[in-house]
Structure 1
Amino acid sequence: MKVTQNGADPRLAGGRLTIDLSALVDNWKWLARQSAPARCAAVVKANAYGLGNDPVIPALAEAGCDTFFVALPEEGLAVRRLAPTSDVFVFDGPHEQSIPTYMEAGLIPVLSSLEQIEMWAARSRALGIHPPCAIGVDTGMNRLGLTVAEALSFRARNISEHLVSPVLVMSHLACGDDPDHPLNRLQLESFQRVASAFEDVESSLANSAGIMLGEKYLFNVTRPGIAIYGGQAMRSGPNPMTPVVSLHGRIAQIRSARRGETVSYGAEETLLRDSRIAVVTVGYADGYPRSGSGAGVPLREAIKAGLYGHVGEYPVPVLGRVTMDLTMFDVTDVPEQLLADGWIELVGPNIPLDEAARTAGTISYELLTGLGTRYERRYLQAAGS
């Protein structure tokens, strides 16, 4: 296994983030097999879901991914630099100031309003070119996109006037993570009408969860995101994806405290026994959620147990509030020799990503994309790749 490093200097960092690129590639290949005969793209917005564009995008491109989706044109430029021959679609669409960047870099905008279509058409006419675009359609999420009626009307008009040159028509599932939700079927039926009207254009509906809903949702192009990074796409059931991320915090100090004493801001956690406390140099500035504090945050009224770490086989709960740079863990039950390593697992084999996220009252997407810049980042890759 080859290990490369970037991020904070490992001698100075307060935490260590390990990203298994081989597992990430295996996840994409599994999703590509599930997508067949549709083509499987990859969503790499938000710095590849927080894991880093520079290692992730080339790894996916080398594995055979030739189509990427991002949220913003700036992110598209990063993909263009790292995978220069790929198709790069930009979800959030252009505005007047960004259109030149799209056209110069060959980025493909998802046009999600009639105004954006007119804007793209006007600039294309002025330059005497017909650059590719995608058409975004809202089938029930009420986020971005033409209505179904607008999309069908635009299609008829575009056939006669050739305003723009779409290469993809797409929509997005609101409830794909819940296979029994009735909105899935309604969105599918609406999108089938649109895809039929755009019969000479590729179509795309399925995100990670959509791929797992089955063949009807695949269309021509799938767009997995969270599942590539090891997250659980479906709300329930086993997660078929291989874990990609592990996170460890460095122990700065182990201190003793007496029963009845309190821990962290607000004195919200009172010790029920004489305790040993490990103070770890990771906090909410590093993306370790304050909402997962052991006490003193509103979430504890709904979910009694907060975040926990692991030292070997021993779970170590967070004590009191997570602070900006430090988090305290109860290591009273951990044998001294296990603490000599100087690290506590925060996400990893003993604490799945989605379990940590749920405990903090959030989702794996937010936990990953919130990872800060102060970690040492280690990238694992099969030797020779």
Structure 2
Amino acid sequence: MVSNWRALSGLAGTGHAGAVVKADAYGIGIEPAVSALTQGGCDTFFVAHVSEGIRTRAVAPDATVYVLNGLLPGTCDAYAAHRLSPVLGSHDELLEWAGFRQGGAAVAPAALHVDTAMNRLGLWQGEGLSLARERKDTIEAAGIGLVMTHFASSEDVGDPANARQIAAFSHIVEALPGIPASIKNSSGHFLKDCPSYQVTRPGYALYGGNPTPGQPNPMKPVVGLTARIIQLRDVEAGMQVGYNGRWTAKGRRRLATICLGYADGYPRNASAPEGTAGGFALVDGVSCPFVGTVSMDLIIVDVTDAAPAACKRGAAVTLIGGSLDLEAVGAGAKTIGYEILTNLGRRYTRRYVGL
């Protein structure tokens, strides 16, 4: 993970890379991830919620910690107590924060979020320009130390929305001279002609996700997931398998039941009812498809093509790792690698090796 951060830092131009550690550091765990990144040289972190910011602050006492999801009413005291920086995205948030600062509170600099495409959070572009040009007193009162926007389609290098967002944000930056800026997310580091400004915000790529879909992954793998075989059985042609008998053997098959299911965060959409493709596992390097329905605690895998020596009770099979990267796992579960990572459940035993 730290090597991925360093690689992305090298793509940050004259700026520097922060690290997005929201959603429990994408399932890795905030504490070990922030500790490793801090030791590696990262000093700026982005989280979604105040609770995540408090955990990050406990591990990185000297870092800058931005809370992306805005300022909920009445939460200013929590930001001040833990030296967290709110990402302000509305006039109401700006006014509440500015009033809190003017009351004498000692707080960290806030960020200003301007929406250039997402229609999700942030000031409209026009509002941001108006604020920058006509209400600089509000900007000063709020103590803005960073202005940012968020890409809607940066993983798609051919989407013209990227160029429009880059151009729109450049006008905001020009209207706020002297205030550091941030636009690049993970995929943004690989967009041609995208300025780095002073801070970049990689997230998914830090944890081994591919920021360049359709191209070789420039990131190193970070997460591996294994589960153990708890029972094996042979089924004959015509025998039904799993809940509601949604899969029927076409011939004699060797099946392994593994100790993992949707209660562990593995998507039920990885189920493989009759005539559909679902998830798969690697058994001694051999791709073995799921059969039937992913259940709460168990998945059935067709291990007929795997070496018998690798298919024993207690043997480990791979759910993430090797050729089963996050993108392949996401595709098999009819979702994306982001969801696979962030759903990694609390029942897993986590072992950290050289983050």
Sort the TM-score into its range (normalised by shorter chain).
over 0.9
Structure 2 unpaired stretches of 5+ = none
- Residues 224 and 131 of structure 1: CA distance in aligned 2, closer, same or farther (over 3 Å): closer
Give me the CA root mean square deviation.
1.5
Structure 2: how far apart are the matches of 1:66 and 1:138? Answer: 25
Other-structure match for 2:334: 361
- Residues 202 and 292 of structure 1: CA distance in aligned 2, closer, same or farther (over 3 Å): same
Superposed displacement of residue 130, structure 1 = 6.3
Match of 2:299 among 324, 327, 332: 327
Give the SS at the match of 2:224: strand
Match of 1:103 among 71, 80, 83: 80
Q: What letter matches 2:340 in structure 1?
A: L
Structure 2: how far apart are the matches of 1:329 and 1:253? Answer: 11
Superposed displacement of residue 163, structure 1 = 2.2
Superposed displacement of residue 263, structure 1 = 0.6
Whether 1:317 aligns to 2:289 is: yes
Give the TM-score taking structure 2 as reference length.
Answer: 0.96
Q: What letter matches 1:53 in structure 2?
A: I
- Residues 38 and 215 of structure 1: CA distance in aligned 2, closer, same or farther (over 3 Å): farther
Q: What letter matches 1:100 in structure 2?
A: D
Superposed displacement of residue 100, structure 1 = 0.6
Structure 2: how far apart are the matches of 1:295 and 1:29? Answer: 43
Structure 2: how far apart are the matches of 1:33 and 1:187? Answer: 23
Deviations 1:122-156 (A, max 9, x none): 11222355641110000011110111221122223
Give the SS at the match of 1:163: helix
Q: What letter matches 1:364 in structure 2?
A: G
Native 8 Å contact 1:210 1:217 kept in 2? no
Whether 1:186 aligns to 2:160 is: no
Other-structure match for 1:210: 188
Other-structure match for 1:30: 7
Counterparts of 1:345-384 in structure 2, within 5 Å, are 345-381=318-354
Match of 1:339 among 311, 317, 340: 311
Native 8 Å contact 1:93 1:111 kept in 2? yes
Farther off after superposition, 275-284 or 93-102: 93-102
Whether 1:75 aligns to 2:52 is: yes
Structure 2: how far apart are the matches of 1:349 and 1:73? Answer: 36
Counterparts of 1:68-217 in structure 2, within 5 Å, are 68-127=45-104, 131-160=108-137, 162-217=140-195
Superposed displacement of residue 157, structure 1 = 4.2
- Residues 163 and 156 of structure 1: CA distance in aligned 2, closer, same or farther (over 3 Å): farther
Give the SS at the match of 1:34: coil
Other-structure match for 2:226: 248
Deviations 1:223-261 (A, max 9, x none): 000000000112321111111111111111111211100
Structure 1: how far apart are the matches of 2:172 and 2:205? Answer: 27
Q: What letter matches 1:366 in structure 2?
A: E
Native 8 Å contact 2:19 2:46 kept in 1? yes
Superposed displacement of residue 216, structure 1 = 2.8
Structure 2: how far apart are the matches of 1:200 and 1:344? Answer: 53
Structure 2: how far apart are the matches of 1:181 and 1:215? Answer: 14
Structure possessing the higher relative contact order (Cα contacts under 8 Å, 6 or more residues apart): 1
Native 8 Å contact 2:284 2:307 kept in 1? no
Structure 2: how far apart are the matches of 1:307 and 1:314? Answer: 13
Structure 2: how far apart are the matches of 1:379 and 1:142? Answer: 38
Other-structure match for 1:20: none
Give the TM-score taking structure 1 as reference length.
Answer: 0.89
Structure 2: how far apart are the matches of 1:250 and 1:198? Answer: 56
Structure 1: how far apart are the matches of 2:334 and 2:230? Answer: 27
Farther off after superposition, 161-170 or 103-112: 161-170
Native 8 Å contact 1:176 1:234 kept in 2? no
Other-structure match for 1:238: 216
Deviations 1:263-303 (A, max 9, x none): 1011110001112110101001111111011116xxx7xxx
- Residues 129 and 281 of structure 1: CA distance in aligned 2, closer, same or farther (over 3 Å): closer
Q: What letter matches 1:63 in structure 2?
A: G
Structure 2: how far apart are the matches of 1:250 and 1:348? Answer: 15
Superposition misfits of 4+ residues, deviation over 4 angstroms: 128-131
Give the SS at the match of 2:110: strand
